[in-house]
Homo-oligomer: A and B are copies of this chain.
Amino acid sequence: MHPVFKIVFGIVLLTGLLTFFYFDWEFLSKTSAQSVLSFSSSQGLKDKEIPDFPKINIGPFHNENPMPCTCQEADPANRYVPKDELDDLQNRRAEEFRQHQIRTGKENDVLILAPANTPLQYPIRGFRVTPMSKTLIPGLALQTRSRAVYKVSLRVQKGLLSVLDVQEGEQVDGQNEKNLSISSSNLQQLNGLLNRVTYTSTVYHIKTQDLAYFSFENHEVLFPIEIRRQSVPVLFDMGKDVNSQIIIADDSLNPEKVVGDNIEHYVMPPAQGWFAGRNLAVSQVTTKYFLWVDDDFVFLNETRIESFVNIMEAVPELDVVGGEVQGDQFFFKLEYEEGSSEEGGCITRFKHNHHAPLPGFDGCFFVDGVVNYFLGRTDAVRRVGFDPFLKRVAHTEFFLDGLGDLLVVTCNGHRIGHQKHSHTNKYHSFRHPPESDSQNKMTHHFFKNHLKCMQY
């Protein structure tokens, strides 16, 4: 039995700016490369004493700098930038990208191999600590044949190591330091000590990583320590009653008063813009989901919002479920290659392409973008946001910004109608802006999304 739900209708602009792109391209497939066991120097919060990690030759396909990409026939994304401004723009973009790489932890993104035949047991995944708090390191052990003395060492960079409750006669060197050594003539006693090793990060950071080196005689292994501040959940109460609220973001030239019990009307500066209006509208939603509709959609007898909700409730990972507007179930796939740091990435859009069916839901498919009639998970959509720079014509941009963060599905049979269009000249001048609008948008993309080229 389904809980009764709260829905918010979002109606954005009374100027009703909407556009669809209708190009089609062949699908390309590439694998991604990552940096291998190397540590590149960069600014940001790091311990300046971190040494280079040892490099292991593991094959030609891993390299530190991703391969440049191509868009086949697309022109470069920077083609509308005036020649005398291009260098400056390129430099500013390189600087923003450098900061982006720091923020997204690219320097921690290394491949680590477990070497064969080491007598050491250690945690390879899931060992997480909160910043600056002492935590037991799980699973450290030595398993080796009989020796007179057993000695292991542990070394970290962003924290301090200690052994809890060191007893008389137990040999521990480097207590509360970066380098710790434990010795014993008894293997069981050594493993007992290894069971009591703690790590305390000394850097304050909410999301970073340390690397631990664990060694015995000529064997050395590496393992990651995730330093992570815990997040607090943010949940939405769906309540018990249907609660429909209409949020209107209005950038009309001459806004009219709109009143009603379930209506929230926000007046924007005139012609402030399409995506600015969308971002405003979603910023005011207080419910778990919102239904996106443009102001010129028409609800039909067959329109069933609850069926959208059923799908989202059954598959909590979903973020957007799209339907069909007057027979047009527009959806698309985006192919993205990261490209090189200098040139940027390559985007290709494939209309009416999907990734895979949604298991358990006939007629639903994973895609990267849908038509403007969809149910959105409020927190997920807000985290991506609608770029308020985009004033007149935009659609794919939201899904591009959300690539990798939004799980999007299109489903057959969820229909809404569309008013007949009747344009006034004044509306037309906004709805079909001059060429410069799309040129400025391309330049905006070149910078914002760090692109080399983009083709629809």
Instruction: List residues of A whose CB falls within 8 A of some B CB.
Output: 3, 29-32, 34, 36, 43-45, 56, 58-59, 61-62, 88-89, 92-93, 95-97, 99-100, 102-103, 109-136, 138-139, 141-144, 195, 203-207, 221, 223-224, 228-240, 264-269, 272, 276, 279-280, 282-286, 288, 314-317, 336, 338, 345, 347, 355-356, 359, 366, 379, 382-383, 385, 387-389, 400-401, 403-407, 447-450
A114's contact among B103, B110, B122, B388, by CB below 8 Å, is which? Answer: B122
A96's contact among B235, B285, B406, by CB below 8 Å, is which? Answer: B235
A114 touches B121 (CB 8 A): yes
A355 touches B204 (CB 8 A): yes
With a CB–CB cut-off of 8 A, which chain B residues contact A138?
36, 58-59, 61-62, 111, 113
Minimum distance in angstroms from A346 CB to a CB of chain B: 11
Separation of A128 and B108 alpha carbons in the complex (Å): 14
The 5 A-B residue pairs with the shortest CB-CB distance in the complex, in nearest-first order: A231-B404, A111-B126, A99-B316, A124-B124, A283-B283
Minimum distance in angstroms from A65 CB to a CB of chain B: 15
A447 touches B237 (CB 8 A): yes
Nearest chain B residue, comparing its CB with the CB of A380:
B103
Minimum distance in angstroms from A131 CB to a CB of chain B: 7
Minimum distance in angstroms from A46 CB to a CB of chain B: 9
A110 touches B96 (CB 8 A): no
With a CB–CB cut-off of 8 A, which chain B residues contact A347?
232
With a CB–CB cut-off of 8 A, which chain B residues contact A99?
316
A128 touches B233 (CB 8 A): no
B405 touches A206 (CB 8 A): yes
With a CB–CB cut-off of 8 A, which chain B residues contact A123?
111-114
Minimum distance in angstroms from A262 CB to a CB of chain B: 12
B286 touches A388 (CB 8 A): yes
B110 touches A125 (CB 8 A): yes
A232's contact among B59, B117, B269, B345, by CB below 8 Å, is which? Answer: B345
With a CB–CB cut-off of 8 A, which chain B residues contact A280?
266, 280, 283-284
Told that A61-B136, A206-B406, A283-B388 touch, could you supply 19 new A-B pairs with CB distance under 8 A?
A29-B133, A30-B133, A31-B135, A58-B139, A59-B195, A96-B238, A97-B235, A111-B123, A113-B122, A232-B336, A232-B347, A232-B404, A233-B448, A234-B401, A234-B449, A235-B447, A235-B450, A382-B382, A382-B383
With a CB–CB cut-off of 8 A, which chain B residues contact A61?
136, 138
Separation of A207 and B319 alpha carbons in the complex (Å): 13
A238 touches B92 (CB 8 A): yes
Given A111-B123, A359-B45, A31:B134 Cβ within 8 A: yes
Separation of A166 and B124 alpha carbons in the complex (Å): 31
A32 touches B126 (CB 8 A): no
B118 touches A116 (CB 8 A): yes
What are some 30 contacts across the A-B interface (CB < 8 A)?
Answer: A3-B95, A31-B133, A32-B128, A44-B317, A45-B317, A59-B138, A62-B138, A93-B237, A96-B238, A97-B233, A111-B123, A111-B125, A111-B126, A113-B139, A114-B120, A114-B123, A116-B118, A116-B120, A116-B141, A125-B125, A131-B355, A204-B355, A206-B404, A230-B336, A230-B403, A231-B404, A232-B347, A236-B448, A264-B272, A382-B382
